[in-house]
Amino acid sequence: MSNQENGTKNGKPVGSVMVMGGGIAGMQASLDLANSGFLVYLVDKNISIGGVMAQLDKTFPTNDCSTCMISPKLIEVASNPNIEIITRAEIEKVEGEAGNFLVTVKKYPRYVREDKCTACGECINVCPVDLPADFNQGLNIRKAIYRHFPQAIPSAFAIDKIGTSPCKAACPAGVHAHGYVALIRQGKYKEALKLVKKDNPLPSICGRVCPHPCEYACTRSQVDEPVAIDYLKRFVADLDLYDDEPFLPEVKEKKEDKVAIVGGGPAGLTAAYFLAIDGYPVTIYEVMPEAGGWLIYGIPDYRLPKEIVRKEIELIEKLGVEIKTNVHVGKDVTLKSIKDQGYKAIFIATGTTRSRAMGIEGEDLQGVIPGADYLRRVNVGERPDLGETVAVIGGGNVAMDTARSALRTGAKKVMVLYRRALEQMPANPEEIEEAQEEGVEFHYLVAPVKIIGDENGRVKAVRCIRMELGKADESGRRRPIPVEGSEFEIEVDAVLPAIGLSTDLSFLDGITEDLKPKLSRWQTIEINPLTLATNVEGVFAGGDVVTGAATVIDAIAAGKKVAVSIDRYLRGEDMAAGREALQPVAEPKVPRVQKAPRAKMPRLSPEERVKSFSEVQLGFSEEEAVKEAERCLNC
């Protein structure tokens, strides 16, 4: 409706009219109104006007091409100075009265600037994503960036985004999995690696040890099996890592404010990477002889070779990050002395390094070695004598690593004793499967109650009790309940408890109260979950020292998050502003596609594996990687 009298004044339009719908009727109405002197807003929800007429190819009585019929009308609308075309929009609210309406129009992003796009079509040639062309009833394929037909008005291209892809949304670090998989499919490996490293500076490491929550969210699993996203990341990361010129991101102009990081594990390394890119001088204080934390001293070589970790750390050092090893914060230096050296921000990322005790009789016997301590010794080249029969207590990844390492260091028989059922085991399914293939025995619904020693104070048996599952506890898993009168003994030469890790807070030794971060009742550091700031000005914390023992990708996510906070803090900006909004997760329709088996990771045979600590998973070939990437549904 117009908001002024009909007609023209001095040859200029008077009043304005909004037409909703850019089909044939909408275009003709707009032309008639514009020619009568009204300013017309032609609103359509699609990326171009014309409605469905262009889809009705050769259906007219004259047998003419529908596009040929509609094109003159499109040009006439586009060239009329009294018509303003608003695409990708819907009417959200209408207020007022006849002759004086106020209309609120919600415009959705096109992701391409209409005023800059020349409609040359070059973008189509480089876009890696293929999708069914819904405008043509899915009969052909279009790119993610598209226009419905060459004569479309507006002529600018557009991209549809129905939300964050499920794989990206599931990743704690927000890695663009769908993007790098699409680039791998096109053979654009360097571009894929660069996209990964926008969010994750340790892709070769993650490609080996990440629990890949992205794959559990993969839409392809509704067809057959999820895409092997993690293995694809490893493929491009390894290609780059062994390239003559590995990728190094551009570093911004150097800043004066220095940042100190306590702990050289994945959280600390990630924070250092992103802060160095932002131009900050960064120093990592690491208590061990080598940076890497659990990546070096916890995960065995057969799963994560040390060479891979060292190479990725070297790339971070090349950005200007200084790593000081063999420095015990709390003993050699303190948080106060670090601040006194001119560091404007400190990030505490010391992880969880202490094994939890089981709290049963006999833990002090000779032959009882906490799993984390055992792995630490193995990873520095020691080969502890465990005897022939070993019991590993626990069901997580540390327990799996401990059991599989015990086989490789000479044990003839290794048993995992777990108090719940297989379905409740927190270890990665791949780790459980590979342990079983290698000969590790699993005893479920069994818990140790006492470790029995001989007259020399050495382990000779472990007394256990059988369990049954009751109601679910706070973890969501059914609580194990002891079965009365079901105790039994297993003869063993060594017991390796791996029931969890706790924080080492020795870095707080000698600290004054004004610099001491607040601790939780679990002896982890309390922080603002949005910014990772502690109660101490300029001091941040993240990773396992905050959450308790978690995964490498969780630590990377914390490092990425805190880098943003520290950058804002040092620039005097609001650390929390604009960080809570979450994009909706896409819920794509599952297309009809032919089932295709997921690529299998080439592995050493179980017989070969247990002879050494050589890497078990050998990696995809280029052919395997591209074929697997083609299974992606482009959510």
What residues contact 347, with CB distance under 8 A and at least 6 apart? Answer: 259, 260, 261, 262, 268, 271, 532, 540, 541, 542, 562, 566
| Upstream peptide bond of 289 is cis (omega within 30 degrees of 0) | no
312 and 375 housed in the same domain: no
Structure confidence at residue 6 as a pLDDT band (50, 70, 90):
very low
**What pTM was computed for the model?**
0.86
Compute the mean pLDDT over every residue in the chain, rounded to the nearest whole number: 91
Cβ atoms of residues 568 and 561 within 8 Å: no
Q: What is the CATH number of the domain that holds 392?
A: 3.50.50.60
118 and 2 housed in the same domain: yes
Q: Is residue 606 part of a domain?
A: no
pLDDT at residue number 604: 96
Q: Is 611 exposed, middle or buried (0-12, 13-18, 19+ CB in 10 A)?
A: exposed
304 and 428 housed in the same domain: no
Q: Is residue 382 part of a domain?
A: yes
Strands 12-13 and 441-444, bridge-based pairing: unpaired
432 and 305 housed in the same domain: no
65 and 98 housed in the same domain: yes
479 and 546 housed in the same domain: no
142 and 2 housed in the same domain: yes
Structure tokens, 572: 């005097």
Domain of 339, in residue numbers: 258-353+503-570
Residue range 511-535: average pLDDT?
91
Residue 281 has pLDDT above 50, yes or no: yes
Any idea of the CA torsion for 429, 434, 437, 442, to the nearest 10 degrees?
-50
Least confident of 59-68, 136-145, 172-181, 465-474: 59-68
328 and 435 housed in the same domain: no
Cβ atoms of residues 403 and 411 within 8 Å: no
What digits encode the pLDDT tens for the residues 347-367?
999 999 888 889 999 999 999
Residue range 526-534: average pLDDT?
94
Q: What is the CATH number of the domain that holds 43?
A: 3.50.50
pLDDT at residue number 390: 97
pLDDT at residue number 11: 53
User: How many whole angstroms separate alpha carbon 444 and alpha carbon 421?
Assistant: 5
What digits encode the pLDDT tens for the residues 74-98?
999 999 999 999 999 999 999 988 8
Residue range 260-287: average pLDDT?
97
Residue 9 has pLDDT above 50, yes or no: no
CA 111 from centre of chain: 23
User: How many whole angstroms separate alpha carbon 261 and alpha carbon 278?
Assistant: 15
pLDDT at residue number 148: 86
Strands 389-393 and 413-418, bridge-based pairing: parallel
Least confident of 1-5, 340-344, 426-430, 590-594: 1-5
Domains of the chain: total: 3
Neighbour-count burial for 135-144, b at 16+ CB within 10 Å, e otherwise: beeeeeebbb
What digits encode the pLDDT tens for the residues 303-352?
999 999 999 999 999 999 999 999 999 899 999 999 999 999 999 999 99
Q: Is residue 239 part of a domain?
A: no
Query: Which residue, among 256, 255, 257, 253, has the nearest Cα to 344 in the 3D structure?
Result: 257
Report the percentage of the chain scoring pLDDT > 70: 95
Cβ atoms of residues 533 and 575 within 8 Å: yes
Q: What angle do CA 267, 268, 272 make, to 5 degrees?
A: 120
pLDDT at residue number 56: 62
